[in-house]
Amino acid sequence: MILPCCSEKTTGGSCNYKEYLSESISHKSYELIIETRGKILSNMRQNEQYIAGKYSKNKNIKAGKDFGGTNSTGKYMQAIDRYAGLLYSAIEDFPRLVRQSLTKGNSPKIIILSALYGPLHPFDMIQDYDLKMSDKPAYTTWKTTFPSFLAEYVINNKINQILLYLGQQTAYFKVVKGAIKKLKDVNAIHINVKNGNSYHTPHNHGLCIANHLRYLQNISFTRKIVLQPFA
């Protein structure tokens, strides 16, 4: 399952840092992810556009282990708790459902694709930031790096089906689509929301994910998925 990150985030966090993605790929590939994050952060800092105005919070990002640095003062929070947008709030306590599913071990693999961090395990610790995949520092970089990551991730985890919960017109979808084209023997399914918009698409994607995880856990559904044209 591949999910996008979102612009709305929970602020704060602690100085405790831990990552989980490295358990699913080789050390070399994980180092490439870290290196890529570092390059994006460096590019952001060199461009006033990405550290001023609506991007001003990026001035507070610390170059810690998550970027290949040594600064230990960054404020971290698990990705599944940090993101608070429409997909992540489609049902009450969406993070708890994801955490419960992954902890029980009967969940499909879940990747959150972040504009700054790239691929994330939902439990990976991240800092607060503001960057969209359509922003040049993110899109041009992950479009190059993400395909090699996904190819190895698929092989290492014996994945034969990928569910994409991504708006079809988004840069996230374009990055992932390019990576999937290079895969063999993998069935990719795009969970498309007809006539969706900036609200309905992520909201309904959140409902789809929740119902999928509940089905695997044999939990009764509390809300129905509605995938139909909206007025």
At residue 230, does pLDDT exceed 80?
no
Question: Within a domain: residue 226?
Answer: no
- Residues 100 and 197: their CA atoms lie apart, in Å, by 30
Stated pTM of the model: 0.92
CA distance readout (Å), 43 to 90, 116, 152: 33, 11, 27
Q: Is residue 225 part of a domain?
A: no
pLDDT value at position 222?
40
Question: Is 231 inside any structural domain?
Answer: no
Residue 218, pLDDT score: 63
User: Which has the minimum average pLDDT: 4-18, 84-98, 188-202, 214-228?
Assistant: 214-228
How many independent structural domains does the chain possess?
1
Quick check: is 146 in a domain? yes
Each residue of 161-182: pLDDT tens digit? 999 999 989 999 999 999 999 9
- The pLDDT value recorded for residue 105 is 65
Query: In this structure, what are the phi and psi dihedrals at residue 163, rounded to the nearest 5 degrees?
Result: -105, 125
Residue 17 lies in a domain: yes
Domain that holds residue 90: 2-217
Q: What is the mean pLDDT of residues 130-137?
A: 96
CA 175 to CA 168: how far, in whole Å? 11
Separation of CA 133 from chain center? 11
* pLDDT for 36 beyond 90: yes
Q: Residue 180 phi/psi, 5° resolution?
A: -65, -30
Does residue 207 fall inside a structural domain?
Answer: yes
